[in-house]
Amino acid sequence: MPIFNFDNSYKKLSDKFYYQVNPSTVPDPELLLLNKDLADELDLEINTDEDLVEILSGNKIAKGSEPLAQAYAGHQFGHFTMLGDGRAVLLGEHLSISGKRFDIQLKGSGQTPFSRRGDGKAALKPMLREYLISEAMHALNIPTSRSLAVVKTGEKIYRETILEGAVLTRIMSSHIRVGTFEFARYYGGIDEVKELMNYTIHRHFRELKDAVNPALALLEKVMDLQMDLVVNWMRIGFIHGVMNTDNTSIPGETFDYGPCAFMGNYNPDTVFSSIDQNGRYRFGNQSNIIKWNLARFAETLLPLLNPDEKKALEMATEKINEFDENFSQKWWEMMWSKLGIQQPKEGDDLLVNELLQLMEAQQKDYTNTFNFLRMPEILDENKFFLNEKFEPWILKWQQRISNEEGGKSQAFEIMKSNNPILIPRNLHVEKALDKAKKGDLSLMKSLLNLTKNPYEYHPEMQEFLYSDESFDSQYMTFCGT
């Protein structure tokens, strides 16, 4: 039996959308991590690790695979450019037993026509990082790409220093992004946009196929998914770090985990990315950026919204103008849930704002603040506590949730499902990766195991619940290319 059950529907699009290209072979592949839980979910037929390593290193083309590099464009930090898979190859679309379709992509698999003078390779540390963070995000109930495996290649990768090479196997429902539509619109034309729109609706949103105006229905659907995604990021203190339009997934999945990080002390201006020098993608600006990205998406659909250019622009503008109110409502509902409030009342917005202001002024950890409110006993008071400045607010909040239907017990249940106890804190992620680079995967595997149940407290989590404030204040992330 073949390992994968490949289908290749993307190749039915016009060949402008991709180049056929095989992954590069590597000299000495070694399987470092295999996500057996994900393999089971995908119904993969793994007979021997040897076969799998050969396929996931790029050394062997699996039966049914028709590898390709996808074409796309994108706005990077607000500037439009032609892009494409410069260091990734899509092996094909795997169909599970139930008929679900998943992209199987090798990241770091060598040069493609889109490599732009790069070598198309990836270093070990950023591939391990994406594996760890993407799987943690999945366990945190955030729509995300998944990681099936990391294979060390036996190659040396030349960046600022000489690094070990690796290939990550990334799984997504698809890699269609806002940038794919930008490519279709500006490097193709109306026919290509329509072709891509119809393909996207058929693959992801079949409920829209009979819509009176499919383009408008698609814009509305994608907008809703993106709002939900970013609200979810803000729920857990996640900062994507590089929210370019080419990293904005049409099905609403988080992906490209290069300069991402998690906020420790609450500050909406938090930014860790070394390339985001002006804070464009800072924590508190993520909603504004996704709105901006959605406006770029809407621009690609204008010819399909209405043949009258002026009318099409009015329709797109009207839809994008709905963003602020809709996002705000979703954000408030999320914040109320973090405080255990299910039936909001007048004044609950003030309760939220007052807490956020206190957290920022007192430099309190975002994740641990909400956990302290529900279960202070799990936190070491020498490492975290809410000082006397919070006491009047806590009394008001306790009174508020006591008046909820179900009282405190019901409020705490709501809080439990919305406030993770464990997040992949930057300090511990870096420690695990540094050890892994030296061949010791023990800390990496411990973190991976603990992050599988981030909403349930286990004593083994204790050492991972805190981060050195001085570490986060100096911490800097990189895109990994």
Please list the active-site residues: 246
The closest of 196, 209, 283, 202 to 239, measured between CA atoms, is 283
Give 209: exposed, middle or buried? Use CB within 10 Å, 0-12, 13-18, 19+: exposed
Burial class (CB in 10 A: 0-12, 13-18, 19+), 392: exposed
Q: SS3 sequence, 251-265?
A: CCCECCCCCCEECCE
Cβ neighbours of residue 343 closer than 8 Å, sequence gap 6 or more: 404, 405
Q: Which of 211, 212, 183 is nearest to 196 (CA)?
A: 183
The span from the CA of 479 to the CA of 467, in Å, is 22
**118 in Cβ contact with 87 (< 8 Å):** yes
